Amino acid sequence: MTTTVGRPGRPPAPRPSGPAAQRALPAGARLRWRTTRLSDPGPLLELLARSAPASTGPEGPLAWVRRGEGIVGWGEAARVEASGEHRFATAGAAWRDLLLGAPVVDEVRQPGTGPVAFTSLSFDGGSAAGGVLVVPEVLVGRRGCTWWVTTATPVDEPAAPPADALAAALDRTAAEGAGPVRGPGAVRYSDGALSGPRWATAVARAVERIQAGELEKVVLARDLVAETEHAVDPRWLLGRLAEAYPSCWSFAVDGLVGATPELLVRRERGLVHSRVLAGTIRRTGDEERDAALAGSLARSGKDLEEHEYAVRSVVSALAPHCRTTTAPDAPFVLHLPNVMHLASDVTGVLDDDRPGGAPGVLELAAALHPTAAVCGTPTPSAAALIAELEQMDRDRYSGPVGWVDADGDGEVGLALRCARIDPDDGRRVRLFAGCGVVAGSDPVAELAESDAKLVPVRDALAGA
């Protein structure tokens, strides 16, 4: 069935100010999308490993996968770049422009079918990293026992059936020598903006400012630089992270690769969901000892205080867009292979009666970002202290990453447990970690926590 993308009766969103979006699509060109069912082609990431070029640039792999379900894509039918404080609005407006009047054939009709774009946006509007929204030429998705393939092609070009386009993509990338996934070889690490001791000193200064009453919480991040023997294949990182952290959302967009345990927002058919993490303790590997540590985490006044700030910020941001919002009275302990987190799932029902209709997932992400889990509270004070003490550009670390479809549904996580491959030098990678700092924080303990959060990517880089 052919449909025209758009919601009858919904007025167009206001045009954002700020830098204009840039597209790979020629001026005036339009796209058409087609989605068809697909017989099980095998695990998504294995398919990606066979098909995606090993590039770290625009032609690199695109992925959003959890427990074997999700979407992967390659090629670039259109690309939107946005920067500045209005990057969310710029990306959203450009996405709506691409969809306006576009012919769509969708035989599956699920969230994630039909038109889909991957996105990654910087933590801070002033970052040179900016943001990107990429429409893949070919996308393969899986939900439960349902598989599908989607193609995006210019309307003035002949389009092969999606299954044929997928086969052609596999053949083409094999012919271009993508080759097997290869490890980065030997890895050498060096300090990023701050050494460990200097970062701990920054934490101590933050504690002093909090105790003086300037703010309640701040999240301080640090970076680590890895230099590898061979150019890093993002498929290597992605596959190893997904295998080690199956309960996380593994992602790859524009050279940013990671596995995040934190879902900023999911929008699906009128419902919203956000998973909030704040409060962390490192695992020991001993089951009895870890059970005791989980209990101490659940009772820790410092960690419960940090978690309460994070949950409160999410509920406050979602409330204006929802008829109802629900948050649990107490968090649960989320067990990951390397750490344990205090976690809460916040849910809501969107308000369709708002002027302009219910917001899409990009609008919700804009309303939520930055949460107290990655910035602090109050937000302006925390952001100012981050700029003063971190002494680095976070790039797209702790920024939104995920996907959006034509209905505004999608999933957007926070880019945590991640690394950014240098687009100019594939052997150089920046790793990131951050910790929530409150009045009771101990700088030495926070440094140890940051080291634990660097473990996933460090382990993923290790090997042949």
Q: Which residue in this structure is represented by tokens 């910020």?
A: 313
CB-based contacts of 36: which residues, under 8 Å, 6+ apart?
A: 105, 107, 108, 148, 149, 161, 162, 163
Q: Please, where in the chain does CATH 3.60.120.10 lie? A: 187-232+261-395+402-461
User: Which residue in 217, 306, 308, 390 is the catalytic one?
Assistant: 217
Q: What does the CA dihedral 391, 395, 397, 403 come to, rounded to 10 degrees? A: 160
Catalytic residue among 262, 308, 363, 449: 262
pLDDT recorded at residue 356: 76
pLDDT at 5: 34
**Eight-state DSSP code of residue 12:** P
**Residue 364: pLDDT above 90?**
yes
Q: Is 217 part of the annotated catalytic residue set?
A: yes
Spatial distance between the Cα atoms of 47 and 61, rounded to a whole number of angstroms: 11
pLDDT of residue 27: 55
pTM confidence score: 0.90
Let me know: does 396 contact 420? Beta carbons within 8 Å: yes
Residue 8: pLDDT over 80: no
Distances (CA, A) of 209 to 27, 97, 218: 51, 45, 10
What residues contact 383, with CB distance under 8 A and at least 6 apart? 124, 370, 375, 376
pLDDT digits (tens, 9 = 90+) for 249-299: 999 999 999 999 999 999 999 999 999 998 899 999 899 999 999 999 999
What is d(CA 168, CA 78) in angstroms, rounded to the nearest whole number?
19
For the record, the structure tokens of 445 come out as: 């303990």
Range in 6-15, 39-48, 203-212 with the lowest mean pLDDT? 6-15
What is the pLDDT averaged over residues 216-241? 95
User: For residues 274 and 344, what is the distance between their CA atoms, to the nearest angstrom?
Assistant: 8
**Residue whose token pair is 């009771």:** 440
Judged by DSSP in three states, 214 sits in: coil
Residue 48 pLDDT more than 90?
Answer: no
Helices of type H across 129-278: 162-175, 196-211, 234-244
3 state SS of 400: strand
Give the per-residue pLDDT at 463. Answer: 65
Rounded to 10°, the helix 162-175/44-51 angle is 50
Read off the pLDDT band of 160 (50, 70, 90).
Answer: confident
Confidence of residue 14 (pLDDT cuts 50, 70, 90): very low
Architecture of domain 187-232+261-395+402-461: 4-Layer Sandwich (3.60)
453 tagged catalytic:
no
